[in-house]
């Protein structure tokens, strides 16, 4: 009986071993194909992003894209030389929003080790991967490049209040002077109907009302007649949190981002920011519970190269600097509370972004060039002169914040 069982086991083993070898061979070949395809897809995605970044940074006014092709090809040559066939294609879609798509197709021959012995398969299998990026042209216009969310002067998800919008709210025939009220150059948009209704019936003057030198006087009625009154707008389609989800989260996790965890650095001043800027830092992220910024001088660097400062908590942001000749700041407050921007003279250049919180500005006769986007309330507590500018453009080789990977299958390429 035992001898019969031993014979059955040997027979079963003899039959099973070839099956195990076949199964193992299939697993090895398919595993190898999956690994190669994953690497190829990552290379295609990265090359599409690299091409998008180069396209955005180009000054070419046409839709030619040699810089994009060169950047994508250079990345592939260095990081995935096994790719033996490249195809670049860009195409403009949704022309009203000036979106551009850059597509990269990669192909590679992957050798077969076991499956090559199956009929009709051959020694190699051709695999392919497609990466596609979407972006906007960097036209360096008045609103700048980058996310369209910052193309408004103010974008408010809650309520808006300006204590010194004008003098004498009850008499529109009294002459206004720039020394006694704030000015607003740029669209002021609400995503909340109640916030819009509350602010829409108030008067907000443009800087042109006071002449080129700012010394002219004008009544509110005259300003209305001459088109110097800024009109509030309502747009419920704007998603204030989208920029945080698509861009800021990515910036926070980049290896190149300077992450502050040391309590000794919870108070940033101009000297520290200048040192970091000169070291090539473009993004700073703080998760500290008590975080403060004090800016007395401009940040060394190009006015076209913003410094991103992202924080989960902020006590105060104090500034008296004239930032016109330095790097602008894209300041992001990720919390749900209220942050204070305390301004005392000088000029601020940058964008303030609080997708879930509120912003209060102690604007003591301060020139503000930028944009403020808040998920809740915006309160201007004193007097400031506001002009819209979008600084959310390229930072470094991480690319323009508007460059995103998209699914090429969702785009019509005819």
Q: Which domain holds residue 273?
A: 148-388
* Same domain, residue pair 264 and 293: yes
pLDDT tens digits for range 104-137: 888 888 888 777 666 666 778 888 888 888 776 5
What DSSP assignment string belongs to 137-185? -----TT-SS-GGGSSSEEESS-EEETTSSS-TT-TTSEE-GGGS-EEE
* Same domain, residue pair 154 and 294: yes
* Same domain, residue pair 24 and 161: no
In a domain, 412, yes or no: no
* Residue bearing the bigger pLDDT, 412 or 31: 31
* Same domain, residue pair 77 and 173: no
Tokens of residue 275, six digits: 């040192």
Position 373 scores a pLDDT of 97
Position 130 scores a pLDDT of 87
CA atoms within 13 A on the CB side of 36: 21
Q: Please give the distance of CA 226 from its chain centroid, rounded to a whole number.
A: 37
- Give the Cα separation of 229 and 216 in Å (integer): 15
SS3 of 332-373: EECCCCEEEEEEECCEEEEEEEECCCEEEEEEEEEEEEEEEE
* Same domain, residue pair 101 and 189: no
* Same domain, residue pair 152 and 270: yes
- Give the Cα separation of 119 and 154 in Å (integer): 67
How many residues does this entry show for the chain?
414
- Residue 124 forms beta bridges with which residues? 111
In a domain, 350, yes or no: yes
Instruction: Report the domain count for the chain.
Output: 2
User: If you average pLDDT over residues 209-233, what whole number do you get?
Assistant: 89
- Give the Cα separation of 92 and 139 in Å (integer): 15
pLDDT bin (cut points 50, 70, 90) of residue 266 is confident
In a domain, 50, yes or no: yes
* Same domain, residue pair 124 and 166: no
- Give the Cα separation of 110 and 279 in Å (integer): 43
* Model confidence at 98: pLDDT above 70: no
Position 95 scores a pLDDT of 39
Average per-residue pLDDT for the chain: 80
User: In the chain, what percentage of residues exceed pLDDT 70?
Assistant: 78
User: If you average pLDDT over residues 9-24, what whole number do you get?
Assistant: 60
Position 377 scores a pLDDT of 97
* Same domain, residue pair 239 and 372: yes
**Residue 371: is it exposed, middle or buried by C-beta count within 10 angstroms (0-12/13-18/19+)?**
buried
* Model confidence at 226: pLDDT above 70: yes
In a domain, 413, yes or no: no
* Same domain, residue pair 158 and 222: yes
In a domain, 405, yes or no: no
* Same domain, residue pair 339 and 288: yes
- Give the Cα separation of 143 and 140 in Å (integer): 8
pLDDT tens digits for range 36-64: 888 888 888 878 877 777 776 665 545 55
* Model confidence at 389: pLDDT above 50: yes
Range with lowest mean pLDDT among 66-70, 71-75, 294-298, 408-412: 408-412
Position 58 scores a pLDDT of 60
Tokens of residue 34, six digits: 């999956």
Among 117, 138, 159, residue at a domain's last position: 138
Position 6 scores a pLDDT of 52
Place of tokens 């800021």: 248
* Same domain, residue pair 242 and 364: yes
Nearest Cα neighbor of 316 from 330, 331, 302 is: 331
pLDDT bin (cut points 50, 70, 90) of residue 93 is very low
* Same domain, residue pair 59 and 180: no
């Amino acid at each position: 009986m035992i001898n019969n069982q031993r014979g059955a086991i040997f027979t079963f083993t003899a039959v099973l071993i070839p099956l195990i070898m076949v199964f193992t061979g299939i697993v090895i070949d398919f595993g190898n194909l999956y690994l190669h395809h994953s690497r190829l897809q990552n290379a295609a995605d990265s090359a599409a992003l690299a091409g998008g970044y180069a396209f955005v940074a180009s000054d070419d006014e046409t839709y030619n894209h040699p810089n994009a092709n060169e950047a994508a090809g250079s990345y592939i040559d260095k990081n995935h030389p096994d790719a033996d066939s490249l195809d670049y294609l860009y195409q403009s879609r949704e022309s009203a929003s000036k979106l551009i798509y850059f597509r990269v197709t990669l192909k590679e021959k992957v050798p077969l080790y076991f499956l090559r012995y199956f009929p009709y398969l051959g020694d190699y299998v051709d695999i392919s991967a497609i990466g596609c990026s979407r972006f906007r042209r960097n036209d360096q216009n008045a609103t700048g490049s980058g996310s369209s969310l910052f193309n408004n002067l103010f974008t408010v998800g809650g309520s808006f209040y300006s204590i010194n919008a004008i003098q004498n709210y009850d008499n529109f025939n009294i002459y206004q002077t720039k020394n006694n009220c704030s000015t607003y150059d740029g669209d002021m948009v609400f995503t909340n109907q109640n916030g819009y209704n509350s602010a829409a019936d108030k008067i907000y003057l443009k800087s042109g009302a006071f002449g080129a030198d700012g010394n002219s006087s004008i009544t509110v009625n005259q300003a209305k007649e001459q088109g110097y009154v800024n009109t509030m707008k309502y747009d419920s389609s704007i998603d204030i949190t989208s920029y945080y989800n698509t861009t800021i989260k990515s910036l926070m996790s980049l290896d190149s981002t300077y992450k502050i965890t040391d309590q000794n650095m919870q108070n940033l001043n101009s000297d520290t920011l200048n040192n970091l800027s000169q070291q090539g830092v473009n993004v700073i992220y703080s998760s500290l519970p008590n975080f403060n910024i004090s800016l007395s001088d401009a940040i060394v660097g190009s006015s076209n190269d913003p410094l991103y400062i992202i924080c989960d908590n902020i006590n105060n942001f104090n500034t008296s600097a004239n930032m016109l000749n330095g790097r602008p700041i894209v300041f992001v407050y990720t919390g749900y509370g209220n942050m204070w921007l305390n301004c005392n003279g000088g000029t601020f250049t940058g964008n303030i972004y609080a997708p879930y919180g509120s912003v209060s500005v102690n604007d003591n006769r301060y020139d503000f060039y930028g944009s403020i986007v808040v998920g809740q309330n915006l309160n201007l507590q004193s007097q400031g002169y506001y002009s819209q500018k979008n600084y959310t453009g390229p930072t470094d080789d991480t690319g323009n914040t508007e460059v995103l990977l998209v699914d090429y299958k969702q785009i019509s390429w005819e």
